[in-house]
Amino acid sequence: MSVEVVKVGLLGLGTVGGGVIKTIHSQQEKLAARLGKRIEIVKALVRDAEKERAVQMGRTVLTTDFDEVLHSGVDIVVEVMGGVEPAYDYVRASIEKGCHVVTANKELLAKRGAELVELANRHQVHLAYEASVAGGIPILGVLRQFLRTNDITGIRGILNGTTNFILTKMEAEQLSYQEVLREAQELGYAEADPRSDVEGFDAMYKLYILAQLVYGESLPLAEVSRKGIADLTCGQIRIASELGYRIKLIAQANQTGDGIHLSVEPTALPLDHPLAQIQDSYNAVQLSGNIVGDLLFTGRGAGEMPTASAVVEDLAYLLTQPFTPHPVWKEREGAAKELSGGREQSLCYVEGAGPAATPDRVLQFLRASGVEVHKLKVQFDLGGVLRAGLITSGLHEEHTDLLRSDFGLQVRCFPLLHASE
Amino acid sequence: MSVEVVKVGLLGLGTVGGGVIKTIHSQQEKLAARLGKRIEIVKALVRDAEKERAVQMGRTVLTTDFDEVLHSGVDIVVEVMGGVEPAYDYVRASIEKGCHVVTANKELLAKRGAELVELANRHQVHLAYEASVAGGIPILGVLRQFLRTNDITGIRGILNGTTNFILTKMEAEQLSYQEVLREAQELGYAEADPRSDVEGFDAMYKLYILAQLVYGESLPLAEVSRKGIADLTCGQIRIASELGYRIKLIAQANQTGDGIHLSVEPTALPLDHPLAQIQDSYNAVQLSGNIVGDLLFTGRGAGEMPTASAVVEDLAYLLTQPFTPHPVWKEREGAAKELSGGREQSLCYVEGAGPAATPDRVLQFLRASGVEVHKLKVQFDLGGVLRAGLITSGLHEEHTDLLRSDFGLQVRCFPLLHASE
C-alpha cells in the first residue's frame, strides 16, 4: 500500500534544523499514524553543501540554491535559518507558490509579520510559528485556541534563555557578567555576537508576537521600552538578593485605558514570585485572564530539541487543520504612558565613594524630596566605597540625576513586581 | 440585523453553573465578535426552582425537569451538576438528540467516558471536557492539539486543590489535618463530605482522563494505586520539611515496557522540585516529552471562575471547529509492576515509645537488612517518644512490617521524587 508523502523543504540546517530532521526521523511512525501521511524532507537549503554535519543527509537533498527548494514540489517550507534577509524573500516566495510555511524566526515575524500574515491569508496557506516564542512551550496555540473568551489583562514572561542562564549564574556563583558570558559562549548557550540576547532584542521580538496574538495589535518595535542586562553587576544582584529580590529580564505587556505598554527590562522580583523560580535557560510565560485568573507555562525556551519539537508539532497540526484565515496583525503608535509614572516601587542600587556618599545623606535627600524608602541594605568595602540597595516609592529620574551629580553616585534602578503581579 | 443565536441548556446551577452564566454575560460581546453568534442559556435544570440564587435568571429559564431542557431546541448542553447519576442519563440523551455536550464532570468521564466518547462519535457531536481536569489550565487541549508528535514519557500533577490547600496549611501553620479540614470547610474550600477529595478519588478521576488522552488507554479505576491524605500528621510533615522535603498529593502516570502505572499518593518532593512550589489551592501538571523535555502548567484548578472559564472556552472552541471523531477510549487491565520495586528511595517516618524504639536499633536493623539510610532526622519529646524521618533506598514492606511488630513503631513511608523527576 502506498502512503501519501508530504514533501517538506527545509531552509537552514543549523542547530534547530538538525533537531527538526532528528525529530521527523525518530517520530516518523507516530506522525504517520496521526497524519496518515509520511513526511519527507526533499530539499534542505544550506550555505555550504560540503560542510561536515551531525545529521546525515543524502547529497541530492542539500542545496545552496533556494530556487531548487522552491521547484522541488514541496508542500511545506520550514524556515529555521533566522534573520530577516534573505529569510523574508524565501518565505514570501514560498507562500506565493502556495506552500504552507512553518517558521521559528521571531525577528522576521516582529519586523515583517504583518505583511506575511496578510500574504498567507491571500494565498490561503498556513503560516505557523509556535517555535518563534518560548521554544517548546505551546503558548501561541493556547492563546489562539483556548484563551479567546478571556480578556487577557497582562502578560509577563522570561522569554530569553541565554540571559536567564547568565543572571542565574551571576547570582549563584557571584561572578561578573563578562565571566559568565564567556562561559555561556564556550558552552554554546550564547552566540559569539550576543547582542540580540543580552540587549533584549530577542525577548522584544517575542513579546511583539505575543502582543499581536493577545491584543490583535502591537506597538511598533521602536516604541517598546527595552533595556538589556549587559550593564548589570554582581554587586547589584547580590544586594537585591539581600533585600529578598531576584533580578530577571522580564518582558511585559499590559493594556490600560490609554493603550498598550510593552517593555523588556531587568526587573526585581520577590523570591516568592512564580517567575523568580524560573532558573537557568528555562522560559516561562505568565498570563492573567479576567475569568481564568493567573496561568503560568514553563519549559525549555530554546535549544535544538525544544524548538524542533515546536516546529514539528506545528507541521503536524497544520496538516490536520483546514485553512482558516489568520487574524490580521496591526500596529498602532502611541504607547501608554509609563506604567510606573514614579508612583510604583523600585529597587534602586547606588555605589560611590565621594564625601556625600553616605547612607544618612542619601536618605535625608530622598525623604526631603518626597521619596519613600521602605527598605535599605548598606555595605561599605575596605576602600570606603558605599554600596546600597533601597526599595523606594515615588523615585523619579530627577532624583536619580541628582544622586549622580550631587552625591557622586552610580545609580541603577529596577522596577519591582510584587508576588501577586 | 439579526444575529444567529446558539441555544444552550445548562444542567446544574451550583458554583460552576453560576460562574458559567456570569462569564457568558460578561464576555458576551467578545464571544459574539469571535463566533458571529450570540450564546443564550434557554433552560437551566435545577433541583429547586424556588431557591434564592446569586445569579438572576428568568423564571421561565429554570426548570426541574430534564425533558424540558431537551425539548427546548438547545444546540449545546452544558453539564455541571456532577456525579454519575442522573448526569449520565442526561448526557446520553443529549448526545442522542444531536446536541454537543460540554461537561466538567470528571467522575462521569472516568466511569462512563468510553461509552460517551463512542456515542458522541456515532452521533457526530462534540464532547468537550477541558473543565474536568485542572480547572482553568487548558491541559487537555494542549495534549490533544499541540503535543501529539512527542512521546509523553511521564505525567505528574497536583490535580486536587482542596488537598493541596490542606497540606499547605498543615505545613505553614503546623496544624493537624482535622483542624485545617474544618477551616477549609468553613471557607467553602472543602465539601461537607470531603472523601472524594481527601481520599484521592477526585485526583484519580482526573489522572484517568489524562491517561486516556496521552496514552489512548487507561487502567480500570480499580487498578489505580490510590492513597489519600486523611492519615497524615503534622509531625510527618514537619520532619519531612526538616529533611528538605515537602509532602504533596501527587498523581502520576508512567508508561514502561510492561504497561502503564497510575498512582495518586502523598509523595515527598525536594523543595526545589517544581511541583513543591505549587501551594494553596493551585493545580499544576508536569509533562515530560521525549522531544520537548519537561513542561509545567500551573493555574487555579478549581473554583467558580477558573472552571467556568474552561467551560466557556470549550463552548467557544467547539462552535468554531468542524466535528472530528474523538479518539476512542480504551481500558486495558494489568498495571505495570510497582515502579519502585523496593529499589527507589522513600521518606520513612517512624514514631513510638517502646524499649526498642531507639535510632540506633532501628538503624542497625535496617542496615543489617540491606536497606540504605541516606539521611536521618531524630526528635524525642519530653515523654520519651521517638519521632524520626529517614531517607532510605531498598526499603520493602517486610521491613516496615518488622518495624511495626518488633520495634513497636508506627510507620508511614512516602515515595520520593528527585528534583529532576
Q: Supply the CATH number for residue B371's domain.
A: 3.30.70.260
Pick from A146, A299, A316: CB nearest B138? A146
pLDDT (average), residues A354-368: 93
Phi, psi of A240 (to 5 degrees): -60, -45
Q: What is the CATH number of the domain that holds A196?
A: 3.30.360.10
The answer to whether residues A52 and A177 belong to one domain is: no
The answer to whether residues A102 and A152 belong to one domain is: no
Task: Answer with the one of A74, A104, A128 that is the final residue of a domain.
Answer: A128
Phi, psi of B191 (to 5 degrees): -80, 160
Residue B326 lies in a domain: no
Q: Which residue has the cell 525518530?
A: A26
The answer to whether residues A76 and A112 belong to one domain is: yes
In this prediction, the answer to ipTM > 0.95 reads no
Q: Provide the domain limits for residue A172.
A: 144-301
The answer to whether residues B103 and B195 belong to one domain is: no
Q: Is A26 touching B (CB cutoff 8 A)?
A: yes
Residue B339 lies in a domain: no
pLDDT at A236: 97
The answer to whether residues A103 and A151 belong to one domain is: no
The answer to whether residues B280 and B217 belong to one domain is: yes
> Three cell numbers at B306?
477558573
Specify burial of residue A285 (Cβ count, 10 A radius: 0-12, 13-18, 19+): buried
Report the DSSP beta bridge partners of residue A136: none
**Given a cut of 80, is residue A340 above it in pLDDT?**
no
Nearest CA in chain A to B299: A295
Q: In what order do the strands lie in the sheet with A372-380?
A: A372-380, A386-393, A345-352, A410-415
Among residues 44-103 of chain B, which lie with CB inside 8 Å of chain A? none
> Number of Cβ pairs closer than 8 Å across A and B?
150
Residue B87 lies in a domain: yes
Q: If you count them, how many residues does chain A have?
A: 421
pLDDT (average), residues B378-395: 91
**Given a cut of 50, is residue B342 above it in pLDDT?**
no
- When divided into structural domains, chain A yields a total of 3
Pick from B34, B138, B316: CB nearest A142? B138
Contacts of B290 in chain A (CB under 8 A): 26
Q: Do B296 and A297 touch (CB under 8 A)?
A: yes
**Given a cut of 70, is residue B97 above it in pLDDT?**
yes
Pick from B27, B296, B299: CB nearest A149? B27
**Given a cut of 70, is residue A227 above it in pLDDT?**
yes
Per-residue pLDDT tens digits for A34-77: 889 999 999 999 998 888 887 778 888 999 999 999 999 999 99
Q: How far apart are CA A211 and CA A228, in angstroms?
A: 20
Q: Do B138 and A147 touch (CB under 8 A)?
A: yes
The answer to whether residues A160 and A274 belong to one domain is: yes
> Three cell numbers at A144?
489562539
**Given a cut of 90, is residue B412 above it in pLDDT?**
yes
Among residues 280-309 of chain B, which lie with CB inside 8 Å of chain A? 289-300, 305-306, 308-309
Specify burial of residue B374 (Cβ count, 10 A radius: 0-12, 13-18, 19+): exposed
Per-residue pLDDT tens digits for A117-174: 999 999 999 999 999 999 999 999 999 999 999 999 999 999 999 999 999 999 999 9
Per-residue pLDDT tens digits for B65-88: 999 999 999 999 999 999 999 999
The answer to whether residues A46 and A168 belong to one domain is: no
The answer to whether residues A207 and A245 belong to one domain is: yes
B206 is catalytic: yes
Per-residue pLDDT tens digits for A374-420: 999 999 888 889 999 999 999 999 999 999 999 999 999 999 998 87
Task: Answer with the one of B71, B104, B128 that is the final residue of a domain.
Answer: B128
**Given a cut of 70, is residue B160 above it in pLDDT?**
yes
Pick from B130, B146, B297: CB nearest A317? B146
Residue B113 lies in a domain: yes
Per-residue pLDDT tens digits for B128-138: 999 999 999 99
Mean pLDDT of chain B: 93
Q: Do B23 and A322 touch (CB under 8 A)?
A: no
pLDDT at A3: 80
Contacts of A146 in chain B (CB under 8 A): 130, 138, 141-142, 313, 317
Task: Answer with the one of A128, A163, A197 that is the final residue of a domain.
Answer: A128
The answer to whether residues B411 and B297 belong to one domain is: no
Residue A374 lies in a domain: yes
> Three cell numbers at B71?
425539548
Q: How far apart are CA A176 and CA A182, in angstroms?
A: 10
Percent of all residues in chain A with a pLDDT value above 90, rounded to a whole number: 82
The answer to whether residues B210 and B90 belong to one domain is: no
DSSP string computed for B152-199: EEEEEEE--HHHHHHHHHHHHHT--HHHHHHHHHHTTSS-SS-HHHHT
> Three cell numbers at B33?
465578535
The answer to whether residues B41 and B107 belong to one domain is: yes
Residue A360 lies in a domain: yes
Q: Are B253 and B367 in contact (CB under 8 A)?
A: no
Backbone torsion region of residue B174, taken as left when φ is above 0, otherwise alpha when ψ lies between -120 and 50, otherwise beta:
left
Residue B335 lies in a domain: no
Q: What is the CATH number of the domain that holds A56?
A: 3.40.50.720
At B175, the pLDDT band (50, 70, 90 cuts) reads very high
Residue B327 lies in a domain: no
